[in-house]
């Protein structure tokens, strides 16, 4: 569509055509799609299969996935964390997002416990294999964990959990936002937690499926029962 409009505009400007017949043609509107969120039961299965807690890598994997779901951070934000960004005493984490904008996020009890276990039992053995880095999450060679490796960790956990379909780090971010809203969180609070510049971006999570509408209607309307 863009190519056709550009060609006709060029032809009219260069005198190759008497006018631009495509001037009133508009590209089709892209429909809004609901973010893919996992049911909470699937998230529990996923986290339960995060990794072998008898290994340093398994402790790391559990901490990473608990952190992603517990904070709703982007995977790039998670792998970019430094150890000093996390305060386990205050249960907070300083996250650097898009445009180097920083936001302070709370850490839930389960995520904080998983991170504490990783700092004590997981990270030190991994760190001895590398040359020293301040990054929180390390790979098997002691260097900073990459986004691709984080994706592989999640995909492996999803396979072990028997989850169908493609599960990505963004699935946990979507699930984080959706589960908060389903349990009564204010959309502007969720906006701050996700680091969205505009609440319009966050409002897509407030869209509900026809099945959800039908369920609410059936249980709430006096004439629907």
Active-site option among 36, 45, 121, 170: 170
Active-site option among 69, 135, 179, 205: 205
Is 196 in the active site?
Answer: yes
Is 98 in the active site?
Answer: yes
Is 170 in the active site?
Answer: yes
Active-site option among 74, 123, 135, 174: 74
Is 221 in the active site?
Answer: no
Active-site option among 8, 173, 174, 179: 173
Is 101 in the active site?
Answer: no
Between CA 129 and CA 139 the distance in angstroms is: 9
Active-site option among 98, 101, 129, 159: 98
Is 32 in the active site?
Answer: no
Active site residues: 74, 98, 170, 173, 196, 205
């Amino acid at each position: 569509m863009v190519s056709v409009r550009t060609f006709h505009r060029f032809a009219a400007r260069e005198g190759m055509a008497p006018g631009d017949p495509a001037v009133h043609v508009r590209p089709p509107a892209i429909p809004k799609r609901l973010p893919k969120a996992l049911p909470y039961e699937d998230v529990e299965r996923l986290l339960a299969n995060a990794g072998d807690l008898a290994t340093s890598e398994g402790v790391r994997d559990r901490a990473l996935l608990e952190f992603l779901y517990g904070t709703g951070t982007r995977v790039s934000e998670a792998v970019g964390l430094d150890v000093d960004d996390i305060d386990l005493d205050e249960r907070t984490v300083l996250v650097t997002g898009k445009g180097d904008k920083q936001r302070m996020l709370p850490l839930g009890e389960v995520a904080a416990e998983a991170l504490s276990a990783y700092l004590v039992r997981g990270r030190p053995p991994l760190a001895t294999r590398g040359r020293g880095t301040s990054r929180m999450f390390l790979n098997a060679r002691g260097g900073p964990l990459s986004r691709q490796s984080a994706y592989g960790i999640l995909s492996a956990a999803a396979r072990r959990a028997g989850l169908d379909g493609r599960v990505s780090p963004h699935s946990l971010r979507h699930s984080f936002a959706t589960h908060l809203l389903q349990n009564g969180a204010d959309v502007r609070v969720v906006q701050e937690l996700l680091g969205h510049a505009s609440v319009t971006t966050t409002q897509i999570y407030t869209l509900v499926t026809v099945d959800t509408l039908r369920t609410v209607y059936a249980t709430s309307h006096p004439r629907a029962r």
